[in-house]
Amino acid sequence: MTLSHKMAPSILAADYADFASELQRIEAAGAEYVHIDIMDGQFVPNISFGAGVVASMRRHSKLVFDCHLMVVDPERYVTAFAQAGADIMTVHTEATSHIHGALQKIKAAGMRAGVVINPGTPVTALEPLLGLVDQVLIMTVNPGFGGQAFIPECLAKVKAVARLRKQHGLDFDIEVDGGVDQHTIKACADAGANVFVAGSYLFKAQDLTAQLQTLRKALDD
């Protein structure tokens, strides 16, 4: 099974004082998703933004909002993100004692449910959840900050999840997040990923469209 490639620029690397223009730039570049990192200063040391900011963003964009919650007990925020206009809500197995219930709640609220594991968490943590989710996110850096180096050992986990997906006849997307650039994206795709988050690589240059095209080209090599 081949799922279509989707680019998910991470707005964590954008200019926070001008989300409206940054969203426009992402849309004009031809991205399918915008990846929105929600950090609470507890699950990860960094603090980013919450559902109120996402609701404001929603008024400026029709892109698919891919919300990655790096938040303790994310089930507390399901209703808030659904109301804010999130399309996908992705939650960490490490962040709650009730990951299955959290995913059920996300689906019941009408969003697509994603589950995510940190680099130190094994794929076995995902196995009981695979039939329930629309997206599996394999972190390729430790979460909390943009601009970190890609951890190549995580590719084995992408491969393992792709194998399980095939074995069970499932069709969820596999997303990678962290250190994705023109050098690492192809290995991620070869391992089985089809949704690619990229922050610093896309925003470090003026021309976001050209950067995104370079990533897409790297996938065809």
Q: How far is CA 31 from CA 25, 28, 74, 123, in A?
A: 9, 8, 26, 28
> Would residue 177 show up in a list of annotated catalytic residues for this protein?
yes
1 exposure class (CB count in 10 Å sphere: 0-12, 13-18, 19+): exposed
Cβ closer to ligand DX5: 172 or 203?
Answer: 203
25 binding partner (options Zn ion, ligand DX5, none; Cβ < 5 to 8 Å by kind) = none
25 is an interface residue for Zn ion by CB under 5 A: no
In angstroms, give the least distance from the CB of 169 to Zn ion.
28
> How many CB atoms lie under 10 A from the CB of residue 4?
8
> Would residue 15 show up in a list of annotated catalytic residues for this protein?
no
Cβ closer to Zn ion: 128 or 135?
Answer: 135
Tell me which of 19, 23, 25, 37 binds Zn ion, using CB under 5 A: 37
191 binding partner (options ligand DX5, Zn ion, none; Cβ < 5 to 8 Å by kind) = none
Contact string (CB under 5 A) for Zn ion, positions 67-106, x = contact: -x--------------------------------------
92 annotated as ligand-binding: no
18, 37, 173, 221: which one is catalytic?
37
200 annotated as ligand-binding: yes
200 is an interface residue for ligand DX5 by CB under 6 A: yes
Dihedral angle of Cα 175, 178, 180, 185, to the nearest 10 degrees? -40
- Interaction with ligand DX5 in 128-167: which residues (CB under 6 A)? 141, 143-144, 146-148
- How many angstroms separate the CA atoms of 14 and 135, rounded? 24
173 is an interface residue for Zn ion by CB under 5 A: no
Q: Which stretch binds Zn ion (CB under 5 A): 66-74, 99-107, 148-156, 201-209?
A: 66-74
What are residue 67's phi and psi, to 5 degrees? -95, 120
The most distant pair of C-alpha atoms in the chain lies apart, rounded to whole Å, by 46
* DSSP conformation class of 150: P
Site size with ligand DX5, rule: CB under 6 A: 21
68 annotated as ligand-binding: yes
Phi-psi region of 20 (alpha: psi -120 to 50; beta: other; left: phi over 0): alpha
Phi-psi region of 85 (alpha: psi -120 to 50; beta: other; left: phi over 0): left
Q: Which helix (H) or strand (E) holds 155?
A: helix 155-167
* Interface contacts to ligand DX5, rule CB under 6 A: 10, 12-13, 35, 37, 68, 141, 143-144, 146-148, 177-180, 197-201
* Interface contacts to Zn ion, rule CB under 5 A: 37, 68, 177
